[in-house]
Each structure stands twice: as C-alpha cells, then as structure tokens.
Structure 1
Amino acid sequence: MPVVVNKYLIGRHFVGIALWPFIVVKDHHLKEDEVFINHERIHLKQQLELLVIPFYFVYLTEYLIRLIQYRNSKEAYRNISFEREAYEMETELSYLEHRKLWSFIKYL
C-alpha cells in the first residue's frame, strides 16, 4: 500500500484519505504515524471488501443518513460504520491480521 504525500489536500481537518490502492496524506510526518496509517489501511480493507467503487457509494449514503440523524457534519462523519471500526481499531496495529470479513457491519 503506497503512501503518497499531497500537500494540497483540502480542509484543515482533512489530513489523509484512503483511495484504493493508495493512502494519500497531507504531510510527510504522517507517513511515520503508525496509528494513522493503520486507520487508513483498515479503510483500504473495507474498500476491497465492497469492491472499491460501491464502498464510496455506501460511505457517502451512510454519511448523508447520519447527517440527517445528527444534524452535525463532524458527528455524522464519526458515526459512519467504516469510521467507527477504523477509529476503534486503529491503535491495534495487528488488527488486520485477524480481522474478519465485513467487520464494519457490527458498527452500523
């Protein structure tokens, strides 16, 4: 999984994104942040499970549903099932070695 640095990523809170098969980060120092990279690697796994393109459709759809539910963009983002799994498991650096298929479903 190649990590690409792009200092032009938009938004001050937006520092990285998993775009299969790449992880794109805003700053070089993020390439060394094991927890951050693990979080994005979890997203890469989720993307593969949903055959990449459908992942983005499901992600956006769930975000819009959460936005209606919470009426707050940050809270909506943090409650997307894919994000909940990634945030909860990001510090467990060996998580992907034993992660079960479609694990994000339990976070719906």
Structure 2
Amino acid sequence: MILISKYLVPRGYTGITIYPFFFIKFKALKTDVVLINHEKIHLKQQLELLILSFYIFYVTEFLVKIFKYKNWEQAYRNISFEREAYKNQNDLNYLKSRPIWGFLNYIID
C-alpha cells in the first residue's frame, strides 16, 4: 500500500515505511520503481524482525552511528537496514533471492 502525504515524510526524504504502510512525499513517486523497491526491502526487514524489534534495532543502531560519525546523514546512510536497501534498490529481483536477515551482512562498516 502506498499513501501520499508530504506531512508524514520527514524533510529531506522522499518516502518512509512504517509497516504495513509506505508513505511518499509526492504522487509522481508512485511510479519510481527504485524507490518502491527500496521501501519493499524495508517492509521485508520489518517483517523479519517482527516489526517492533525492527524499530528498536533501527533507532539503537542510528544512535550508535550518530555518536560515531557526528553527522545525521552519514549516520542514517550507515544503518545496516539502509545500507542493504540502498545497495540493492536498483536490483528489482533482489527480494526474490535475498537471504533471510540479509541486513546482517551490512552491520559492520
């Protein structure tokens, strides 16, 4: 499901996934297959970690990274979930071959 809301998507981002919803900032982004694939990867990650655990892990990892990098964008880009999604967002078949808990391959940076 895709919902359009420029108010729920944080400034500087084009989409956000909060299971089971995917919010995008602009209606035109509904056809952006790379963005949709990126967010589908997050949906898979959230399901694997039973949703609540995903958010706890995400926020904890972000806090560690912000302390390490002292830069919001760099911390965000180095969260394992984001690293996996960004690296594989162009591969529209990635989710078909993705190993369970694939984000674990991106924890060490």
Task: Assess same fold via TM > 0.5.
Answer: yes
Is the contact between residue 4 and residue 27 of structure 2 (CA under 8 Å) also seen in structure 1?
yes
CA distance in 1, matches of 2:103, 2:66: 19
Is the contact between residue 16 and residue 24 of structure 2 (CA under 8 Å) also seen in structure 1?
yes
The match for 1:102 is: 101
Q: Deviations over 1:74-96 (max 9, x none)?
A: 00000000000000000000110
Shift of 1:8: 1.3
Structure 2: gaps spanning 5 or more residues: none
Shift of 1:9: 2.8
CA distance in 1, matches of 2:102, 2:67: 25
CA distance in 2, matches of 1:32, 1:94: 17
What's the TM-score, normalizing by structure 2?
A: 0.94
Is the contact between residue 15 and residue 22 of structure 2 (CA under 8 Å) also seen in structure 1?
yes
Alignment RMSD: 0.9
Aligned length: 107
Runs of 4+ in 1 over 4 A off after TM superposition: none
SS of corresponding position for 2:55: helix
Is the contact between residue 62 and residue 80 of structure 1 (CA under 8 Å) also seen in structure 2?
yes
The match for 2:4 is: 5
For the structure 1 residues 22 and 10, does the alpha-carbon distance in structure 2 shift closer, same or farther, using more than 3 Å as the test? closer
Is the contact between residue 9 and residue 15 of structure 1 (CA under 8 Å) also seen in structure 2?
no
The match for 2:74 is: 75
For 1:98, the aligned partner's letter is S
The match for 2:55 is: 56
What's the TM-score, normalizing by structure 1?
A: 0.95
Structure 1: gaps spanning 5 or more residues: none
Shift of 1:21: 1.0
The match for 1:91 is: 90
CA distance in 2, matches of 1:72, 1:59: 16
For the structure 1 residues 16 and 97, does the alpha-carbon distance in structure 2 shift closer, same or farther, using more than 3 Å as the test? same
